[in-house]
Amino acid sequence: MSVDLEDYFQVSAFNAVINRESWQSIPGRVESNTDNLLELFAANNITATFFVLGWIARQYPELLARIVREGHEIASHGMNHIRVSAQSAHEFFQDIHTSKQILENCTGQPVRGYRAASFSINGKTPWAFEKLIEAGFQYSSSVYPVRHDHYGMPDAPRFSWNPVKNEAFREIPLTTCNISGVNVPAAGGGYFRLYPYRLSKWLIRRVNIRDGQSAVFYFHPWEIDASQPRVAGLSRKTRFRHYLNLNRMADRLARLGQDFRWRRMDEVFLDGGPA
Percent of the chain whose pLDDT exceeds 90: 93
Q: State pLDDT tens for residues 165-205.
A: 989 999 999 999 999 999 999 999 999 999 999 999 999 99
> Which of the four pLDDT bands, split at 50, 70 and 90, describes residue 153?
confident
- 275 found inside a domain: no
Q: State pLDDT tens for residues 245-272.
A: 999 999 999 999 999 999 999 999 998 6
Q: Compute the half-sphere exposure of residue 62: CA atoms within 13 Å on the CB side of its CA.
A: 3
Q: State pLDDT tens for residues 59-73.
A: 999 999 999 999 999
Rounded-to-integer distance, Cα 191 and Cα 187, Å: 8
- 41 found inside a domain: yes
Rounded-to-integer distance, Cα 149 and Cα 142, Å: 16
Sign of the four-CA dihedral 95, 31, 234, 118: positive
- The reported pLDDT for the residue numbered 166 is 85
Looking only at the bridges linking them, the beta strands covering 176-179 and 182-185 are: antiparallel
Domain extent, residue 40, equals 2-270
Specify the number of domains making up the chain: 1
- 78 found inside a domain: yes
Q: State pLDDT tens for residues 122-138.
A: 988 989 999 999 999 99
- The pLDDT mean for the chain works out to 95
- 264 found inside a domain: yes
- The reported pLDDT for the residue numbered 208 is 98
- Residue of 273 and 235 predicted with greater confidence: 235
- Residue of 150 and 254 predicted with greater confidence: 254
State pTM to two decimals: 0.96
* Average confidence (pLDDT) over 41-53: 98
In degrees, to the nearest 5, what angle opens at C-alpha 171 toward C-alphas 201 and 90?
Answer: 135
- The reported pLDDT for the residue numbered 154 is 87
- 154 found inside a domain: yes
Q: Please provide the distance, in angstroms rounded to a whole number, between the alpha carbons at the two ends of the chain.
A: 16
CATH code at 36?
3.20.20.370
- 64 found inside a domain: yes
What are the Cα distances from residue 244, in Å, to 166, 225, 237?
A: 44, 11, 11
- 177 found inside a domain: yes
Phi, psi of 89, rounded to the nearest 5 degrees: -60, -40
- 262 found inside a domain: yes
Q: Measuring CA to CA, which residue among 53, 29, 242, 172 is closest to residue 37? A: 29
